[in-house]
Amino acid sequence: MAAADNPSPSPQSRRIVFTGAAGGIGTMIRPLLAKIYPGLILSDKVEPKDLQPGETFVAADLARPDEVAAAVEGADSVIHLGGYSVEGPWDSILQSNIIGCYNLFEAARQAGVKRVIFASSNHAVGFYPRKRRIGTDVTVRPDSRYGVSKAFGEAVGALYADKHGMIVTCLRIGNVGPRPLDVRRLAIWLLPEDLVQLIRIGLDHPDIRFEILYGASDNATAWWDNARASELGYRPTGKSEEHRAHAEAEQARIGPDAVGDAFQGGSFCSLEFTNKVERAGP
Q: Which residues are tagged catalytic?
A: 146
When the beta carbons of 15 and 80 are compared against ligand 15L, the nearer one is 80
Minimum CB separation from ligand 15L for residue 59, in Å?
22
85 binds ligand 15L (CB under 6 A): yes
Residue 263: how many other CB atoms lie within 10 Å: 27
217 binds ligand 15L (CB under 6 A): no
**Using the rule CB under 6 A, which residue among 121, 144, 226, 251 binds ligand 15L?**
121
Minimum CB separation from ligand 15L for residue 121, in Å?
3
- Contact stretch for ligand 15L (CB under 6 A) within 53-61, 71-79, 119-127, 271-279: 119-127
Q: What is the 3-state secondary structure (H, E, C) of the chain?
A: CCHHHCCCCCHHHCCEEEECCCCHHHHHHHHHHHHHCCCCEEEECCCCCCCCCCCEEEECCCCCHHHHHHHHCCCCEEEECCCCCCCCCHHHHHHHHHHHHHHHHHHHHHHCCCEEEEEEEHHHHCCCECCCCECCCCCCCCCCHHHHHHHHHHHHHHHHHHHHCCEEEEEEECEECCCCCCHHHHHHEECHHHHHHHHHHHHHCCCCCEEEEEECCCCCCCCECCHHHHHCCCCCCCCHHHHHHHHHHHHHHHCCCCCHHHECCCHHHHCCCCCCHHHCCC
When the beta carbons of 121 and 169 are compared against ligand 15L, the nearer one is 121
Size of the site for ligand 15L (CB under 6 A): 8
19 binds ligand 15L (CB under 6 A): no
251 binds ligand 15L (CB under 6 A): no
227 binds ligand 15L (CB under 6 A): no
When the beta carbons of 38 and 88 are compared against ligand 15L, the nearer one is 88
52 with 112: CB under 8 angstroms? no
219 binds ligand 15L (CB under 6 A): no
- Contact stretch for ligand 15L (CB under 6 A) within 32-40, 115-123, 239-247, 272-280: 115-123
20 with 60: CB under 8 angstroms? no
188 with 221: CB under 8 angstroms? no
**Using the rule CB under 6 A, which residue among 103, 122, 219, 240 binds ligand 15L?**
122
- Contact stretch for ligand 15L (CB under 6 A) within 5-13, 70-78, 117-125, 215-223: 117-125
Which string of x and - marks every residue 127-166 that binds ligand 15L (by CB under 6 A)?
A: ----------------------------------------
Question: Which residues here bind ligand 15L, judged by CB under 6 A?
Answer: 85-86, 121-123, 173, 175, 185
